[in-house]
Amino acid sequence: MNSSTKNLPTIGFIGTGTLTTALVTGFCSRAAEKPYPIVLSPRNREKAAALQAEFPDRVKVAETFQEVADKSDWLVLAVLPSVGEEVCRGIKFRPTHKVINMLADRSLQEIRSWIGPTEVLVHMVPVTYNAVFSGPIIQTPPQAEAAEIFADIGSMVQVEERQQAAVLAAITACVAPYFTLLSTLIKWASSQGVPEELAADYVKKFFQGLTEQAIRSGNQSVHELAAEFTPGGTNFMVKEMLTEQGVFAAWARAMEPVLARLTANFS
C-alpha cells in the first residue's frame, strides 16, 4: 500500500463475487482522491487475482478470511447468505471492527449473533452499477462514517427501519427484468432492419433520457408523468395494451415474493 493510504481505514471484503468486484472497481477507479486500502478474501481466487492485477497499489489478496479480518478496519460481509453463518462464525471479529452486512435476507440481530460485539454494524444494499455510476445505496440504520465512505461510489439512501430497507431492496430484483426489457426492444428494432449497434445505442440513451426527465421533473411526480399522454396517440395505445395484458400489475406482484424472501428470517 502506498503512503497516501496511511490515514485511511482499510476495507476488507469477505466474499469476492460480482458485487464485491463492482464495489472494489468503484472504489479504485472512481474514488482516487481517497485511496482506501482494500483486502480481499481468497474465495473466488480468479476474481480476487484479477482485481489485484488491475489495481495493484490498492488491492491485496489474503490467504484466509481471518487474515482479511486481522488486516481490516471495516469488514464487508458479501458471501452468499447460505454460507454466511458458517463463514462468519469461523472468523474472530474484534470489538473495534466496523461491519457492513450485505447478506440480503439476514437481520442485523442474526448477524450480531454470529460475529459478536463490534463497534459498528450496518446493513447496505449496493448494486453493480456502483462500479461505474453513483447510483443509490440503501443503508440502515444511518451511520455517518459508513455513509461517508460509500458516498464516494454511490448516493446514500439512509433509512431507519430494516423493513423499509427490505422493501427498497426488493426493487433491486428488477435489474434483470429491466435489462431484459432493453434487450427485447433492441432485438425488435434489429428485426425491423435497424443495425443492432445503432438500436442498442438508441434504446440505452432513450431510457437514460426518461430517467433524467423523472429526476429533474421538480414538483411533477412520476405518477403525473405516467398519466401525461395524448389520447389516441402511440403512448396511449401501448400503455392501454400493456395495462389490459396485466403487465404493470405483474411487476408489482413480482415484488411480493421477493419481499417475503428478504424478510423470511427477520425476527
Question: What pLDDT is recorded for position 229?
Answer: 87
Give the pLDDT mean for 94-107: 97
pLDDT class of 266 with cuts at 50, 70, 90: confident
Sequence letter at residue 133: F
| pTM (global) more than 0.85 | yes
* pLDDT tens by residue, 31-90: 888 999 999 998 889 999 999 999 999 999 999 999 999 999 999 999 999 999 999 999
234: pLDDT strictly greater than 80: yes
Q: Each residue of 146-200: pLDDT tens digit?
A: 999 999 999 999 999 999 999 999 999 999 999 999 999 999 999 999 999 999 9
Instruction: Decide which of 2.60.40.1180, 3.40.50.2020, 1.10.3730.10, 3.40.50.150 is the CATH code for 174-263.
Output: 1.10.3730.10
User: What's 212-228 look like in SS3?
Assistant: HHHHCCCCCCHHHHHCC
Integer Cα distance of 35 and 41 in angstroms: 19
Domain 3-160 sits in CATH at 3.40.50.720
C-alpha cell at 49: 487475482
Domain with CATH 1.10.3730.10 in the chain: 174-263
Collapsing DSSP to helix, strand or coil, 110 comes out as helix
Half-sphere exposure for 194 (CA within 13 Å, toward CB): 15
Closest CA to 103 of 29, 36, 162, 57: 162
- List the one residue out of 4, 23, 80, 136 whose CA is nearest residue 12: 23
Q: Would you tell me how many other CB atoms lie within 10 Å of the CB of residue 45? A: 12
C-alpha cell of residue 177: 427484468
pLDDT at res. 265: 87
pLDDT digits (tens, 9 = 90+) for 18-35: 999 999 999 999 888 899
User: What percent of the chain has pLDDT above 90?
Assistant: 91
Phi/psi at 77 (5° precision)? -85, 105
What does the pLDDT read at residue 4? Answer: 56
Name 157's bridge partners: 138
Comparing CA positions, the residue from 15, 8, 145, 143 lying closest to residue 69 is: 15
- CATH 3.40.50.720 positions along the chain are 3-160
What's the pLDDT score for residue 6? 67
Q: Is the pLDDT of residue 1 over 70?
A: no
**What is the Cα gyration radius of the chain?**
21
Distance, in Å, from the CA atom of 169 to the CA atom of 164, rounded to the nearest integer, reads: 9
Cα 129–chain centre separation: 7
Percentage of residues of the chain with pLDDT beyond 70: 97
pLDDT in tens, 48-58: 999 999 999 99
Question: What is the pLDDT confidence band of residue 5, given thresholds at 50, 70 and 90?
Answer: low
